[in-house]
Amino acid sequence: MALDAFDDAYQLSSWKGLSLANDFTTHTVQALDLRDALPDFELRNFGEPPNNNPRLRTIWRMPFGEDHFERPVASVSDQYELLQHRVLATWLTENLSNAGLQNAQATITMTEYGERVRITVPLENQVFDFAEDLFAPDRYRPEIEVTNSVDRSSAFHIVLRWRRLICLNGMFTTEEDRMRSIHRVDLSRTGLVHDFIKDRLSKKPDMVAALHDWRKLKIDKDTAQVWCEGWLREKSGWTVENCARLWAIIETGYDGSVTSPTGKKEKNPLSAYRVGQHRRVPGDNYPIRTALDVAQLLTWITTNQRSVEMQLEGTEAIPRLMKELIKFSKTRKSA
């Protein structure tokens, strides 16, 4: 098998059916330049009277960068309220500046005509160290991530995530640390988004306490694999391939592409799935010792997915999965 088999299997490649390689661009700008790095849009009638549809509108991208033409990017209902990327960028930049992060770097992933955008800003001034050990640090860094679309393809979404810097595979969020909404008239006419960002930049989130708790809770290999074969496979919504990846990582410390068992189609145990040992999972997670180790493996798998939506949905589910793992562990110990 090719040396790049892992990347072939799990490299991020699509977002709502569009190819990230061919239909998207990614670049980094200073937070202060974020607004100018995003396109402007206009909401217009769908046709001219009498050859029009009064129940529909069109979204047009204005000339942007080296493209000097106006581009139609979507048709929407007459109730649709356009939420401009640039307005969100203004709110984000203002709050970053107030937090002393005006020089922060913002990574922008955007479709060819700008109708869909994902913005990620690492918050370097909020890095903290679990271990507080100069020679063996265990540092985490939060980042603000904003996704938005003007073509109804992606709901507006703001989230505060935490990444483990030792391996960059940790990515957690909680209910209180995210804001998600379909475009509504009242959303874009209030300071809800502005206040959300301001609040999340001004205080340490509950996730810090959760990470501390997970680090203290002992979880052994057998408990994690039984939970993986049982609840995670049956009730979590995870695919059997992802469950097999987790089972194999717990067993070996390595991840790779999955090959299903051959022969009859009856349910096979996860151990029967062949998971390539193509890449060692980074971090001190093998052998697993704590619930935090399992959380890191869960986030490694949700981070290494083929589509943006699978990344987002998988990562948001991590706290829910961890609650079930902890419940299972306590029940197993008391049995």
pLDDT tens, 209-227?
888 899 899 999 999 999 9
Nearest to 180 by CA among 143, 155, 198, 152: 155
Residue 21 falls inside a structural domain? yes
In a domain, 103, yes or no: yes
Residues 18 and 93 occupy one common structural domain: yes
Tokens 């079930």 belong to residue = 324
Same domain, 188 and 226: no
Percent of the chain at pLDDT > 70 equals: 93
Note whether 157 and 288 are same-domain residues: no
Give CA torsion, residues 287, 293, 294, 299, to 10 deg.
Answer: -120
Is residue 192 situated within a structural domain?
A: yes
Contact 224, 325 (CB under 8 A): yes
Does a structural domain hold residue 111?
yes
Number of domains in the chain: 2
- Considering 205, 239, 255, which residue would you say is the last residue of a domain? 205
Residue 22 within any structural domain of the chain: yes
Tell me, yes or no, whether 103 and 247 share the same domain: no
Is the domain of 186 the same as that of 234? no
User: pLDDT by residue (tens digit) across 107-164?
Assistant: 999 999 999 999 999 988 888 887 777 777 878 888 999 999 999 888 888 888 888 8
Q: With 60 as the cut, is the pLDDT of residue 316 above it?
A: yes
The residue segments making up the domain with residue 278 are: 214-334
Provide mean pLDDT across the span 29-35. 94
